[in-house]
Structure 1
Amino acid sequence: MLDRSRTRAGEPDAAAVRDTVARAVRAEALGYHRFWVAEHHAVPGIASGSPPVLMAAIGAATSQIRVGSGGIMLPNHRPLVVAEQVALLEALHPGRVDLGIGRSPGFTGPVRRALRAEGADDDSFRAALDELRSFLDGSGPVTVRPRPEHAVPLFLLATGAGLRLAGDLGLPAVVGGPVLDDPAALEDYRARAGDAAHLVVSADVLVGDPDLALPEAWALAAARSTGEFPPLEPPDPARATTRRELDTVARALARTVVGDEDTVAERLDDLAARTGADELLVFSSTHDRDAQDASDAALARLLGAGR
């Protein structure tokens, strides 16, 4: 499960972070295998800007579920600092830490400038990734402290060239969006990775009334219009808006796996068959907390989480 610490209209941002920790506790009780958090900076609708800090809080509130990042955006950080943060998390929560790495820049120009990060080309990103791996496996020019007692699994959030890089490096790849409809790209990844191939397919999944997907769809439409991703608001199927926003909402709803348990099961079975997924990463959010909790529980039953 990936939780992005979505904020809600009329509530303080801090409530979203506390919700994330509480959701992780419930996810562990439901039998989910991993609980990941995201990195977004200065986005009104997302309160998670520091995955390592949030991972530490989740690790302290749980005892078994794996805790990870989905992901830490490497162009925003020095590889040594990321390695030290992960090593410290591993020392605090041994054998439970995952490291998902991505390369997306900040959401807006001012954020990218504040981060001193304007993105990374393929060569510089690979060099930073190689450096990070060397610090984690002890082969780097300096030794990270505390030295990890367990190997920390590294996952690459990948599309296009990133998927090819994951294959070449033999890393698990986390994929979603249009690449899921590109069987040639997925097969190329498996050919490059060989026996090390591990494909994690991400999907927006909600079990319940289809209107539960509307708050996220409206937020995406608003972001496309204003350039600012907003907090979640209650669903309103009759909300007045422009044709462009309506088209964005329709596309977002079409990509969301939502409905009753039979509908969700059928669509997830199709997704697994099309992609050959080794693992499913579910992310979802809606304005109604009780409905979100019920969806998480229904999905756990549906997928047989914990068996």
Structure 2
Amino acid sequence: MRLSLLDRSRTRDGLPESEGLTGSVERAVHAEQVGYQRFWVAEHHAVPGIASGSPAVLLAAIGAATSRIRLGSGGVMLPNHQPLVVAEQFAMLQALNPGRVDLGIGRSLGFTAPVRTALRATGSDTYEDDLAELRDLLDGTAAVTPHPVVDPPVRLSLLATGRGTEVAARFGLPLVIGGPVLHGEEIGELLAAYRREFRPSRHAADPYVTISLDVTVADDAATARELALPEAWAMARSRQSGEFPPLESVAAIRAQSWPDQVRRRVERSLDGAVAGTPATVGAALEELQARTGADELMASTSTYDRAALLASDRLLRDLVV
């Protein structure tokens, strides 16, 4: 499998939110040094735990700090943007970083009603029409031409769950899939249908599947589980409070009271995580690859300790060759 990282620019309790962005740049530099193929960044709006609301801006900074690693958006949420503006932004990135830029597209809206209102979300579903328009703009077949004109053109990928896999097949786009669907019985059927119905395009001659999931590697299982705790805790608290919070240190988390429902959610998340020693994680990834036939793994790992996160990235890179 090819190997990529998805960095969500997580903020950390007690630290300036800007460090979520500088940390993403530093992690991308490290990923390039240890041999990752691609580095992806996210788009989330008005979320206290995530500093990145503009993938194009962050990728410009990462491109300036690196020289080889491919740069991707995981992803740009198309309902929030005009297709022409997205095409122009990523054409500029490709011009500044020739041959290194990938445009991953998703369809999620803001997490809360006030955010959706601020984004001017109308509730109308024009996603597939907008996706077709964006594709035509990138392919140079639209009524207008985005500038600068770049060669090679920017390639699209589609972030999808469920029915979105059918859209990726019909448009001939590489597929990025993650979340609970990976562990469901339907994943095999979804991917088989994607591969069966795939229509070749300029963006991909053949079906291409990227699996996105959290992967944490450490020298011993207990340490790996501790590293996975801050993200599991934040997710459990978000379901309780409705707000996705910054990451907290393991010590701070352990010092708090754990309501029974939060404890159950945290333990369930940790039990289902791919977290452990190189041997156990390697076996889990082999099983996942055999079950899905994935072409690429996109590790979306986050933890409070930045040094430990970089160490996990290095250990994971050593596993996937």
Q: TM-score, normalised by structure 2?
A: 0.91
2:166 and 2:78 map into 1 onto residues whose CA distance is: 17
Amino acid at match of 2:294: A
Matched AA of 1:17: L
The alignment partner of 1:98 has SS state of strand
Q: Distance in 2 between matches of 1:84 and 1:214?
A: 39
- Equivalence for 1:42: 46
Query: Which range moves more in the overlay, 227-236 or 3-12?
Result: 227-236
Candidates 84, 88, 93, aligned match of 1:84: 88
Q: Is the aligned partner of 1:223 residue 2:233? A: no
Shift of 1:118: 4.7
Q: 1:67 — aligned with what?
A: 71
In 2, the alpha carbon distance for the partners of 1:294 and 1:119 equals 43
Matched, 1:185 2:187: no
SS in 2 for 1:154: strand
Aligned equivalent of 2:130: 128
**How far off its partner does 1:267 sit?**
0.7
Paired residues of 2:228 and 2:275 also in contact (CA < 8 A): yes
- How far apart are the structure 2 equivalents of 1:21 and 1:132? 27
- Could you tell me how far apart the structure 1 residues matched to 2:78 and 2:25 are? 24
Whole-angstrom CA distance in 2 between matches of 1:255 and 1:98: 30
Corresponding position of 2:141: 139
Report the Cα offset of residue 302 of structure 1: 1.2
Given candidates 113, 117, 129, the residue that maps to 2:117 is 113
Correspondence for 2:264: 247
Distance in 2, matches of 1:44 and 1:154, equals 29
Q: Secondary structure at the match of 1:196?
A: coil
SS at match of 1:253: helix
Give how far 1:196 is off: 2.1
- What is the identity, as a one-letter code, of the residue corresponding to 1:79? P
User: Distance between the aligned counterparts of 1:62 and 1:119, measured in 2?
Assistant: 39
Cα deviations by residue, 1:227-265 (Å, 9 ceiling, x for unpaired): 110000012457422222122212321332101111110
Determine if contact 1:214/1:237 at 8 Å carries over to the other structure.
no
**Structure-to-structure mapping, 1:206-285, within 5 angstroms:** 206-208=216-218, 209=223, 210-235=225-250, 236-237=253-254, 239-285=256-302
Partner Cα separation in structure 2 for residue 128 and residue 147 of structure 1: 20
Instruction: Tell me the distance in 2 between the aligned counterparts of 1:95 and 1:77.
Output: 24
Q: Deviations over 1:185-234 (max 9, x none)?
A: 11111111166210000110010211111000010011001111000001
Alignment equivalent of 2:175, drawn from 169, 173, 176: 173
Match of 2:22 in 1: 18
Alignment deviations for residues 42-64 of structure 1 (CA, whole Å, 9 cap, x no partner):
10000001000000000010000
Which among 108, 130, 136 is matched to residue 104 of structure 1? 108
Whole-angstrom CA distance in 1 between matches of 2:94 and 2:268: 40
- Secondary structure in 2 aligned to 1:247? helix
**Matched residue count:** 302
- The structural deviation recorded for 1:120 is 5.4
2:215 counterpart (185, 201, 205): 205
**1:31 correspondence with 2:35:** yes
The Cα of 1:273 is off from its aligned counterpart by 0.9
**4+ residue runs of structure 1 moved beyond 4 angstroms?**
none
Q: Which runs of 5+ in 1 are unaligned?
A: none
Q: 1: distance between equivalents of 2:113 and 2:124?
A: 15
> 1:103–1:119: 8 Å Cα contact kept in structure 2?
no
Q: How far apart in 2 are the matches of 1:15 and 1:113? A: 28
Further displaced range: 228-237 or 71-80: 228-237
Q: What is the rounded CA distance, in whole Å, between the counterparts of 1:207 and 1:287 in structure 2?
A: 14
CA drift of 1:153 comes to 1.7
Aligned-pair CA distance for 1:108: 1.0
In 2, Cα distance between equivalents of 1:250 and 1:59: 38
> Over residues 89-141 of structure 1, what are the superposed CA-to-partner deviations in whole Å (9 max), with x where a residue is unaligned?
111101000000000001111111101125553xx211000000111111111
Q: Is the 8 A contact 2:91 2:153 kept in 1?
A: no
SS at match of 1:285: coil
AA paired with 1:190? R
TM-score by length of 1: 0.95
CA distance in 1, matches of 2:298, 2:132: 25
